[in-house]
Amino acid sequence: MGTIERRFLTTPIYYASGEPHIGHAYTTILTDVLARFHRQDGKDVFFLTGTDEHGQKIQDEAEKRGVEPIELCDVMAERFKQAWDRLGISYDRFIRTTEDQHKATVTAFLQRLWDRDQIYEGTYSGWYCVSDERYWTEKDLGEDRTCPICGREVTYVEEKNYFFKMSEWQDALVKQIQDNPDWIVPEIRKNEILSFLKQPLGDLSISRPKSRLSWGIDLPFDRDHVAYVWVDALINYLTASGAIDPSRADGEQGFEDVALSWWPADMHLVGKDILTTHSVYWPTLLMGVGLPVPRQILAHGWWVVGETKMSKSLGNVVDPLMLRDTFGTDAVRWYLMREMPTGADASYTPERFLARYDELANVLGNLVSRSTSMINKYRAGLVPDAASNGLDPEVDHALESARSAIERLKVHDAFAAAMDLARAANVYIEERKPWAQAKDPELATELDETLATLARVLVVLCALFQPVATEKMHELALRLGLDGVPTLEKAVAEDMTGKRLATGDPLFPRVHPEWMDKTT
């Protein structure tokens, strides 16, 4: 018996200082869809998400609200969990960086860097953005001296810090990228990082003095300093993987025996604005402690309104939960996966959302209603015992295309292939005219073949759409007389003969025009 393929997929962990928005939702749903598709295809999956709970921004926001930082983090972590529950996110682990296990892992990681002479004490002076927890050079800021990411004012800081010798790993990082062309995708992001690395790579400040920031994880070699929030946050992937066991007296498990864990991650999914931290800071830190780097990094684009990135500070953020309350979870997931080509920017408009919803309703939903209604009308709801090979080439093509697209991270193409199969089945109905076959007793065999073919296609579509339309495909599986949504392999082999199919309300009901007023 062969070994089951494994996939360890991660989202970024989200700052616990603000509400979940459509940018968070896109990253998390994209990761969830990939995780679910891999599970549908028989792979063993570990899907990680969580909240980033240390740093200046958390400390400042807690002070503003008049609460302790941990109280704010408790509230916001629960908000994210509730949002992910409402959006159908099937994570295996929700990590919080205030957990004892994570603190111990960060401590062991930093001690390992210190022991390997990868850290030294120095002085930092430069511009700092509290919102993005990032230092910037004069060149980065431009004339207006605002943060290149969020546009907020930056603060000049001069203080004692500890630094990681990131510059020592520049050549190794460039080699990693050049030797592995698909390590950073899409290619435009890989080229951006290679261009960035043409300049000398500086060392990385990895600490903050407690005199300025107390809310963080203590450095094991200097208790007057806490870990820089980005270093702390990035190590969450390692914590969750189980690679490091800080309780070991020799401190070596994970560093010397990483194969026993989920590490390395198969894919980090991140927004393009945090690509540098994940493809420069993180891999060099891993090289510094002697651990393998993640196998792949996918940097997706931004949701924009017109030409402007969707941003809380700009007041143009769309609430995915409001869309969900109007249209349902699956409609939101479908829009986000279908509308944005993976890696590119995409523009949100209510009109495009409605167009994608209509695609679900008019193609897939219509096919389900027509097929189940005809089987109930003409064969008392029972799938006839007949050949069901009328759409075999289309089924094979859809499965092959969807699998290929997922491996190439073209998620929008994978579900385009699934929708094309639904369209082909609707065309098949028009060509076969089962309503006419039902009127002629001599065409009873042909009618049985038509209905059996449609039942089989519905099972395959149920399995194909499950990663994106989780709730409705569970409902469809029950209507098809199945215990649950089958895997892709089982869907192809499923014998539908004699199954009793149920009819019901439209899977994707018509939405009234006033929806725009509720979601904008």
Sorting pLDDT into bands at 50, 70 and 90, what band is 97?
very high
* 96, 106 contact by CB (below 8 A): no
Largest CA distance in the chain: 90
- Please tell me the pTM assigned to this model: 0.91
- Which residues neighbour 275 within 8 Å (Cβ) at sequence distance 6 or greater? 184, 189, 192, 193, 297, 299
- Which residues neighbour 355 within 8 Å (Cβ) at sequence distance 6 or greater? none
Which residue carries 């930056």 as its tokens?
154
| pLDDT mean over 132-154 | 76
| pLDDT mean over 316-334 | 79
Beta-bridge partner residues of 129: 134
Structure token pair of residue 355: 């167009």
Q: Which domains does the chain have, with CATH numbers?
A: 6-317 (3.40.50.620), 350-493 (1.10.730.10)
* 89, 11 contact by CB (below 8 A): no
- The pLDDT tens digits for 269-304 are 999 999 999 999 999 999 999 999 999 999 998 777
The lowest-confidence range among 37-46, 59-68, 320-329, 395-404 is 320-329
Query: Within 13 A of 351's CA, how many CA atoms are on the CB side?
Result: 2
- Enumerate the H helices of 169-314 as residue ranges: 170-179, 187-196, 229-234, 236-241, 275-276, 282-289
pLDDT greater at residue 185 or residue 123: 185
**Above 70 in pLDDT, residue 2?**
no
Beta-bridge partner residues of 230: none
Burial class (CB in 10 A: 0-12, 13-18, 19+), 407: exposed
Comparing CA positions, the residue from 491, 495, 497 lying closest to residue 395 is 491
Sorting pLDDT into bands at 50, 70 and 90, what band is 32?
very high
DSSP string, 358-419: HHIIIIIIHHHHHHHHHHHHHHTTBPPSS---TTHHHHHHHHHHHHHHHHTT-HHHHHHHHH
Which residue carries 């944005």 as its tokens?
340
Structure token pair of residue 406: 């997922």
Comparing CA positions, the residue from 193, 196, 231, 16 lying closest to residue 103 is 231
Helix (H, G, I), strand (E, B) or coil at 190: helix
